Structures are given as C-alpha cells and as structure tokens.
Chain A
Amino acid sequence: MAIDAAELGRVIEIHQRMVFSIALRLTGDYGLAEEVAQDVFLDFFRSAEKLTGKEHARFWLRRVAVYRATDALRHRSRQPEAAAEEWVQDEHDIALGQSGGAQVSSGVSAKIEELLLAIPEPLRVVVVLRYQEDMVPGEIAELLGQPVATVKSHLQRGLQLLRKKAAVTMKEYIR
C-alpha cells in the first residue's frame, strides 16, 4: 500500500482527529501533541507499503500514536498536570463544543480531562483508548501487545482512581 502525498493528505483528513486526540490526551500538551501527531503521519508515509488495508492503517496509526505519545512524554519528563493547564483552558471548550451533542457541561469535561492527566500513564492509555476510541479490552490488548487481563485491570484501576479524584475535586458536580 505505497502512497503518494495526495493519498497521505486523504489519510490525514480522515484520521487526524483520532491521532491528535490520542496524542493530546496522553501528553496533555497541545504543542507536543501536534508534534507527535505529525511524526505519526510521517511514519505512516514512510511505512505505508507494509500496511495491507484501511483497517490495518487505522490500527497502525492508533498504535504508533500511543507509542509516540508515551515516548514523547517520557522524553520530555515533565509533569503532565502542569502542561494540561495550557490547553484545557484555551482549546478544550472550543474543541469539545464542536463535537456537538455534549451531554455534560464544559466545566465537567475540563475537570475530567484534568483528572485523566493526573492518573498514571499506563492506566491513562487504556482509559483513552476505551472511552475516546470506543475500543473493547480485546482490541486494546491487541493494540498494546498486552494480555486482556492486564488491560481490564488497568481500566478498572484507572476508573477507580478517576472516581476517587473526582470525589475530591468535583464535589460541586457530584451529588
């Protein structure tokens, strides 16, 4: 599946939100997320001949986005909580507002984004893939190369942590 620049453009148009969102939610840094997303698509451009179809390409993009984002995060070795402030305030309301049909207020959404960035990276990866990408644990396990039991455990622990943190920081939203 060798591609030219025009085909790459089409792939970017289709998948840029997915790749960028994964990068943003894992790094918590808007600039770094764009850098990561660009690198993912450049990697895709170079490796496209190894990919066998659209589904494989989507799987590949998700996987590389996760790996590149976690690598960037470790490389930068900065606290994601601090970086989260940068985009949560500036971009979050616009971005989520555009999605339409929001069932929760932007304040709650911003809080959840903040909480998400405060949980450990392996748990965050699983939570993002589950609740942003709507992937089931089996798919996540395949993507990350981990046992399904590990993925389920990370998901459970991630949600528990989020609930605990939410109980403390989102008292005004929880009755």
Chain B
Amino acid sequence: MRSLRRVEAPKGFAARVLQRATASEKPLPLRPRFRRGLRWRWIGAVAAILVFFALVANQVRVWRERARVAQIQAQFDTAMRVTDGALAQTRAELERMGLKFGE
C-alpha cells in the first residue's frame, strides 16, 4: 500500500485553473440559484395577484347579490302593503253593504 504516492497533476493544470478563475469572477453556482429564486418570486407574485382578483370578484358578486335581494324584498313589501290596503278597503265596503267578510 505504500505505493499510493501522490500523482503529478497534468501539465498546465495551474494555468487552466487560473484562466477559469479569472474568466468567471462571480461564483457560477449562485447564478442558477438566483434565477431559481427570482422565478419563484415571480410565480408567487402572479399567484398572489390572481388570488387577490379572485377575492375581489367574489366580494363584488356577493355585494350585487345582496343588493338584488334587498331590491326584491322592498318590491315584495310594497306589493304586500298595496294588497293589504286593497283588502281593507274591500272589507269596509262589504261591511257597509251589510255583508260579513271572513266569517
């Protein structure tokens, strides 16, 4: 096992490493990581905007529905009041004529 001596590096090895080192001043692994992070931030931002618009749209729909229900309710109340008035008037006239209504 004593034959496991260190081996000489290939000729020009140091020069090649230095060339690569000076060519890439910025760490190579950071760029893909940065891009990956940026991409996820974009996806997150778009998702947040979509959720926001979905919530707003839903709220608007609820408001419109409530307004429509309130309007129908008001119309129904008016109709009931009109009907009550007409019925009271008819009953009064029938009583004046000597007829008992609803007995």
User: Which residues on A are within 8 Å of B, measured CB to CB?
Assistant: 5, 8-9, 12-13, 16-21, 24-25, 30, 34, 37-38, 41-42, 45-46, 91-92, 94-96, 98-99, 102-104, 108-109, 112-113, 116, 127-128, 131-132, 159, 162
Interface of A is mostly: helix
**Which of B19-27, B35-43, B53-61, B66-74 is the contact stretch?**
B19-27
* Contact across chains for A46 and B27 when beta carbons are under 8 A apart: yes
* Contact across chains for A20 and B5 when beta carbons are under 8 A apart: no
Quick check: is B96 within 8 A (CB to CB) of the other chain?
Answer: no
Q: Which of chain A's residues have a CB closer than 8 A to the CB of B18?
A: 5, 8-9, 12
* Contact across chains for B13 and A112 when beta carbons are under 8 A apart: no
User: Which partner residue on chain B sits nearest A94 by CB separation?
Assistant: B8
Q: Which of chain B's residues have a CB closer than 8 A to the CB of A12?
A: 13-14, 17-18
Q: Which of chain B's residues have a CB closer than 8 A to the CB of A24?
A: 7
Interface of B is mostly: loop
* Contact across chains for B9 and A96 when beta carbons are under 8 A apart: no
6 A-B pairs, CB-CB below 8 angstroms? A17-B7, A20-B6, A42-B20, A112-B3, A127-B1, A131-B1
CA separation between A163 and B49, bound complex, in Å? 67
With A9-B18, A12-B18 as contacts: A37 and B2 at CB distance below 8 Å: no
Q: Which of chain A's residues have a CB closer than 8 A to the CB of B6?
A: 17-18, 20-21, 99, 132
* Contact across chains for B21 and A8 when beta carbons are under 8 A apart: yes
* Contact across chains for B5 and A99 when beta carbons are under 8 A apart: yes
Q: How far does the Cβ of B28 sit from chain A's closest Cβ, in whole Å?
A: 8
* Contact across chains for A38 and B20 when beta carbons are under 8 A apart: yes
* Contact across chains for B5 and A132 when beta carbons are under 8 A apart: yes
* Contact across chains for A17 and B3 when beta carbons are under 8 A apart: no
Q: Which of A41, A91, A98, A112 has the most CB of B within 10 A?
A: A41
Q: Which of chain A's residues have a CB closer than 8 A to the CB of B2?
A: 103-104, 131
CA separation between A134 and B66, bound complex, in Å? 83
* Contact across chains for A104 and B3 when beta carbons are under 8 A apart: yes
Q: Which of B8, B16, B20, B22 contacts A17 (CB 8 A)?
A: B8
Q: How far does the Cβ of B79 sit from chain A's closest Cβ, in whole Å?
A: 80
Q: How far does the Cβ of A165 sit from chain B's closest Cβ, in whole Å?
A: 13
CA separation between A28 and B18, bound complex, in Å? 24
* Contact across chains for A5 and B8 when beta carbons are under 8 A apart: no
With A17-B6, A21-B6, A37-B13 as contacts: A42 and B21 at CB distance below 8 Å: yes
